[in-house]
Amino acid sequence: MSDEKKVFKDLTKFTVKRSDWLRGKGSDESGLLLDGKMCCLGFYAKAQGFSDEELKEATSPGDLVCNTLCDPKSRLIDYRSQYGTMRHCDSVEGVVLMTTNDDQYILDEVREKSLKEDFLKLGVEVEFVD
């Protein structure tokens, strides 16, 4: 990751391009950016200004913020004490989004509806295109 510090902003809308969307492969074959495709949170992080290089090195938003500043309002990241130090972790909401994105057993129209609803709970609108 670069030395430049990035911040998860208070983003209210982003777009997922279906032709570049990595989904339904299970968590073992997923990541924010893998083989030129992004999961839903990869698109979200890209809209936040994270580079392809940073996305390739991360499997989740929690991985991205290890070397970044994070807006404490972000509900995708939790701060937890582990072994006496604070560390960034994926929030429950973030894990729900990842699980839905990676689920191998649901139809894409169900996946999209669920992701839209779960992002809206975080105050973020997601649009699926193409």
Q: pLDDT tens digits for 13-25?
A: 999 999 999 999 9
Q: What angle do CA 113, 45, 61 make, to 5 degrees?
A: 90
* DSSP secondary structure letter of residue 4: S
pLDDT value at position 3? 45
More confident residue, 91 or 20: 20
Concatenating the DSSP letter of every residue in 18-53 gives: GGGB--SS-GGG--SEETTEE-HHHHHHHHHT--HH
Quick: pLDDT tens for 40-75: 999 998 998 889 998 998 888 877 765 444 444 455
Q: pTM for this structure?
A: 0.82
Which run of H or E residues covers position 83?
none
Both tokens assigned to 27 = 């968590």
